[in-house]
Amino acid sequence: MAECVVENTCGRDSGKKWTHGSMAFADVVVIIPARNEEASIGLVLHDLPPIGHVLVVDNGSSDATAREANKLGASIVQEPIPGYGRACLTGIAAARCLVPRDQRNRTVVVFLDGDYSDYPDLLPELVRPIAENRADFVVGSRLLGDREPGAMPFQSIFGNRLACFLMWLIWGARFTDLGPFRAIRFSSLEKLEMQDTTFGWTIEMQIKAVLSGCRTIEIPVPYRRRIGVSKISGTLSGTLRAGYRILWTIAKFAATSPRRTVRQ
């Protein structure tokens, strides 16, 4: 993961500018891991409200994902080695180059998928509890929100519920979903020292947030059918790999951390 390699195109006449925004959400950095999302990345960027920085991490795409994101003024970060967590880590490294250390306590980092299954225009709803100092970490729960038919196949719903039940059983954590649309205070994110490079990224963040004492809340978010085929639930192999990684992550932390000592 190369640090500080950001193709910042926001100065071009793309029709939409994010860098150094002057609006209420100027202290927000959005990280969008994207691999072969040429058909959807433009829709995601178009729906985002004005914010501080948008980083699209091109995770080894073989299509025009980076070029489409470039057209709308996003900053492009290259991470050629596939892996959802790896792309997120590369995005965080790039964000460190953009946000001075003394500003990270007031900066909010938002993670958002590039497949247009989430609703980017709802970003203010996730950021607001942190901006108002009511939370440090906000997870958008698809299981609490309205889901378009077929947006989450049975195996995804079951897997998410099982993972959240195990987090409650072991640590007393009250989550309903491992939703990818999430916001966290930058300074809190750095304390988590995230490491997972694959499908265990989301649950690693949630477990570490609970163990570190982050003030955490969930809010319901709607969810629609993604554009294209899911890298996880769209194939049997992807589903099995993701399920194994999530359960392995839970087991790893269960073996090394206190149980049911932290409640939200």
Per-residue pLDDT of the chain (264 residues; tens, 9 = 90+): 445 556 654 333 334 544 444 345 889 999 999 999 999 999 999 999 999 999 999 999 999 999 999 999 999 999 999 999 999 999 999 999 999 999 999 999 999 999 999 999 999 999 999 999 999 999 999 999 999 999 998 889 999 999 999 999 999 999 999 999 999 999 999 999 999 999 899 999 999 999 999 999 999 999 999 997 655 555 556 678 788 889 999 999 999 887 765 444
Which residues have CB under 8 Å from 102's CB, separation 6+?
A: none
| Residues 157, 158, 161: CA angle, nearest 5 degrees | 85
Alpha helices in 147-235 (DSSP H): 154-171, 186-192, 201-211
Return the number of other C-beta atoms located less than 10 Å from residue 62's C-beta: 8
Name residue, tokens 């980017």: 120
User: Using CA atoms, how far apart are residues 201 and 206, in angstroms rounded to an integer?
Assistant: 9
Whether the CA torsion 156, 159, 161, 164 is positive or negative: it is negative
pTM: 0.89
**Residue 52 contacts residue 107 (beta carbons within 8 Å):** yes
